[in-house]
Homo-oligomer: A and B are copies of this chain.
Amino acid sequence: MSTIASTSLTMSSSIIAFLDFFGIAVFAISGALTAGHKRLDIFGVMVVALITCLGGGTLRDLILDAHPVVWIENTSYLFAGIIAAFATFVIARFYRMPMRMLEVCDAIGLAFFTIAGMQKAQALGHSPEISLLMGLMTGVAGGILRDIVCNEIPLIFHKEIYATAAIVGGGLFLVFQYIGFGPEISMIVGMLTILTLRLTGIFMGLSMPAFLFSDDERN
């Protein structure tokens, strides 16, 4: 088992590093495109992209007092976001962006960021409920900040199953850990759950129930 574990650890290390940058890039692209719809200039596009891809992790680190903040400790996250935003700025002039594919990539980013955020909170010794909240924050706060900066009501507050996917998947991650499954199995189960739920939401157009006032029903 130990050889398999160490092999899978090495393999999973590179996968995690890949998913990390993949998530950063996808969120940066989503920020750049939202900024683009507002006709922002190259600087605005950069800032909105960075807020989108680094905002969630930054907020988590500030609240958990986990200094240095993730992109100060490792500036390659910063450069990954800048490069992805710049590429989007250039490419979108010439090609129609494949929106549906980007949504799928964004779902992968959400799945990974949520679980990674939970693991960071757990590593700092926080309780399961705080870890779940911090995972959720890591996964969705960037998108919320993106929409606030772009003067929109955050999309994830009224679009198809999004945060709910993160909550359910993050919850399962905790349950699997609690039952006694290893960190890798738990992580994979959590991520796949988030991904599946989110993709179901995208392709079946499912959304959560919205707030309804009793007045609405009368009028």
Contacts and interface: CB of A to CB of B under 8 A. Distances in A.
Interface string A30-47: 001001111111111101
Given A63-B69, A75-B130, A214-B96, A43 B157 contact: yes
Interface centre among A35, A40, A44 (most CB of B within 10 A): A44
A210 B130 contact: no
B211 A43 contact: no
A36 to B, nearest CB: 4
A152 interface: yes
A179 interface: no
Interface residues of A, number: 62
Nearest to A151: B153
A163 B208 CA distance: 36
A208 B58 CA distance: 28
Interface in A178-219: 207-215, 217
A177 interface: no
Interface string A147-164: 011111110111000111
Given A47-B144, A129-B75, A157 B211 contact: no
Contact of A154 (B44, B130, B210): B44
A122 to B, nearest CB: 14
Contact of A210 (B41, B156, B167, B213): B41
5 contacts: A36-B212, A37-B213, A38-B153, A40-B153, A96-B215
Given A37-B213, A40-B211, A93-B217, 10 more contacts: A36-B212, A45-B211, A47-B144, A58-B63, A63-B69, A65-B65, A65-B67, A78-B129, A93-B214, A151-B151
